[in-house]
Amino acid sequence: MKRSLNQPVPGGSHIFQRIYTRLGCRARPPHFIVVYHPYADLTHTIRLRGDVAYVRLSDVLRGAPSAVVEATAAILLGRIYRRQPPPEMFDIYRQFSYARPTRQRLLVLRRKRIRRRECRPAGKHHDLAPLYERLNQCYFAGLLMRPHLGWSVRPWRAQLGCFDPALRQILINQRLDEESIPEYVVAYVLYHEMLHQKHPMRFMRCRRESHSAEFRADEMRFADYARAIKFLDRFPAATRRLSLFPV
């Protein structure tokens, strides 16, 4: 049954062999088995086992121009063989993955393929529900639709919070649900995620470019902004990232 999930990528093996050579890999190429896999996001994986390379491409690439598949191959192969893919291939991939139709398709797929875990806004020390209401009234004129609110099931290492538009959910790192964490810090992280609700991201991922100038300006309006940032400085840099959205 599991096999039927994966469908061969037409010409996939040839594409990977060609790109392997183009990247300047000299050893004999592995035998490439390339399939589409129904990931819930734009994930692609490659595993080397002996002289076989198992490649799974997100099925969002199905129907994409062959240049996009080639660019994906270059990025994947570049990673495992430590080669630098040509910059134009990165551009092709980036343009495809940020394009509105791709994003739209990913949103629909995610809704279908990911089941939202039940979560509760009330943690051990902080309750996100009243906090959300207060921030909504104070900064958004009460106009935001309350999404599902909750704490991460496990402590996250790489992010403080996350807004997932497909699941209409804001999760906050459970490491912030501590007595030692002042409420204004939790409020700031929640406020940041609420801003993602207000400013739909062009790229979904919470990278610097997903925070527009308007987003940044709004963020500064938070009354305890400077204090919260200062407090969060004590967290390891990786954890200080806000909403690294996994798409």
Binding interface with Zn ion (CB under 5 A) = 206, 242-243
CA atoms within 13 A on the CB side of 10: 5
Q: How near is the Cβ of 124 to Zn ion at its closest, in Å? A: 25
Nearest to 124 by CA among 46, 200, 177: 177
Q: Which is nearer to Zn ion, 12 or 161 (CB)?
A: 161
Q: Which is nearer to Zn ion, 55 or 242 (CB)?
A: 242
DSSP label at 150? E
34, containing H or E segment: strand 31-37
Q: How near is the Cβ of 246 to Zn ion at its closest, in Å? A: 13
Q: How near is the Cβ of 128 to Zn ion at its closest, in Å? A: 17
Q: How near is the Cβ of 216 to Zn ion at its closest, in Å? A: 10
Separation between Cα atoms, residue 214 and residue 201, nearest integer Å? 12
Q: How near is the Cβ of 89 to Zn ion at its closest, in Å? A: 27
Q: Which is nearer to Zn ion, 37 or 148 (CB)?
A: 148
DSSP label at 40? S
Separation between Cα atoms, residue 111 and residue 153, nearest integer Å? 20
Report strand pairing: 31-37 vs 52-58. parallel
Separation between Cα atoms, residue 77 and residue 175, nearest integer Å? 36
Q: Which is nearer to Zn ion, 126 or 196 (CB)?
A: 196
Taking residue 12's Cβ as centre, other Cβ atoms within 10 Å add up to 18
Q: Which is nearer to Zn ion, 175 or 199 (CB)?
A: 199
Q: How near is the Cβ of 153 to Zn ion at its closest, in Å? A: 21
Q: How near is the Cβ of 40 to Zn ion at its closest, in Å? A: 20
Q: What does the angle CA 216 – CA 246 – CA 200 come to, to the nearest 5 degrees?
A: 40
Identify residue 233 by its one-letter amino acid code.
D
Q: Which is nearer to Zn ion, 64 or 242 (CB)?
A: 242
Give the residue closest to Zn ion by C-beta: 206
Q: Which is nearer to Zn ion, 60 or 206 (CB)?
A: 206
User: Could you give the C-alpha distances from 23 to 44, 109, 150, in angstroms and in order?
Assistant: 19, 32, 45
18 CB burial (10 A radius; 0-12, 13-18, 19+): middle
